[in-house]
Chains A and B, each alone.
Chain A
Amino acid sequence: AQSVAQPEDQVNVAEGNPLTVKCTYSVSGNPYLFWYVQYPNRGLQFLLKYITGDNLVKGSYGFEAEFNKSQTSFHLKKPSALVSDSALYFCAVREGTGFQKLVFGTGTRLLVSP
């Protein structure tokens, strides 16, 4: 079965500093990877995805993610954090061959301090 792991429960960063939220994956075959963000009392919002092609994927709100096949990682990054980026971030992998579904990691809480 496909899976993703988010090793950090929480990441703290000061506003204006770069941020990284880590994700590693375990898949058979080509990985289809996603990042979602969840604000308080809201559903999950799609940030970006990796299907194939360039290893650096650009997404919404200035976020990007770097796919690294040798390290089986898909870390989420942003060059300059905003206080409004504080939220819960989930990495996910698409699983299945016929009927497919997203399998989520446990989430990482990002806290950006002013």
Chain B
Amino acid sequence: EAGVAQSPRYKIIEKRQSVAFWCNPISGHATLYWYQQILGQGPKLLIQFQNNGVVDDSQLPKDRFSAERLKGVDSTLKIQPAKLEDSAVYLCASSLDTGSLYGYTFGSGTRLTVV
């Protein structure tokens, strides 16, 4: 099966600019996750979708971050305006459902550098 696709792979922007990341999960996976991985830290969950509904966005900085999952398939994560501390790798993952015992499948991530 095809894996989780993410684009772009790399992005460099200036602070206060906006940026968007795209994720296409594995076909049939109902649950989609966006994680933020800052250098030297473990991945931190930003937002979790079940189909096209948000089930957990408790750690999403909602004043600048937004995400959507139209039609329960692809998802877009946006940052506007970006700050220096947003420099990180943004990982998208998907699973069959939220209670999956098989773990998640991760994409290769988007490395964001804010200068």
Contact = CB atoms under 8 A, between A and B. Distances in A.
B14 interface: no
B4 interface: yes
A89 to B, nearest CB: 11
Contacts of A49: 101-103
Nearest to B6: A43
Given A44-B106, A104-B42, A99 B98 contact: yes
A46 B104 contact: yes
Interface in A20-54: 32, 34, 36, 41-46, 49, 51
A103 B55 CA distance: 16
A59 to B, nearest CB: 11
Contacts of B6: 43
B47 to A, nearest CB: 10
Interface in B79-115: 91, 93, 98-99, 101-109, 111
Nearest to A4: B42
Contact of A44 (B40, B91, B99): B91
Given A43-B108, A45-B106, A107-B42, A101 B101 contact: no
A105 B106 contact: no
A73 interface: no
Given A99-B48, A104-B42, A105-B42, A41 B55 contact: no
A56 B4 CA distance: 30
B101 A100 contact: no
6 contacts: A41-B111, A46-B105, A101-B33, A101-B56, A106-B41, A107-B41
Interface of A: 32, 34, 36, 41-46, 49, 51, 90, 96, 98-107
Given A43-B106, A101-B48, 19 more contacts: A32-B101, A41-B108, A42-B108, A42-B109, A43-B109, A44-B43, A44-B91, A44-B93, A44-B106, A46-B104, A49-B102, A49-B103, A90-B42, A96-B56, A100-B98, A101-B98, A105-B42, A106-B41, A107-B41
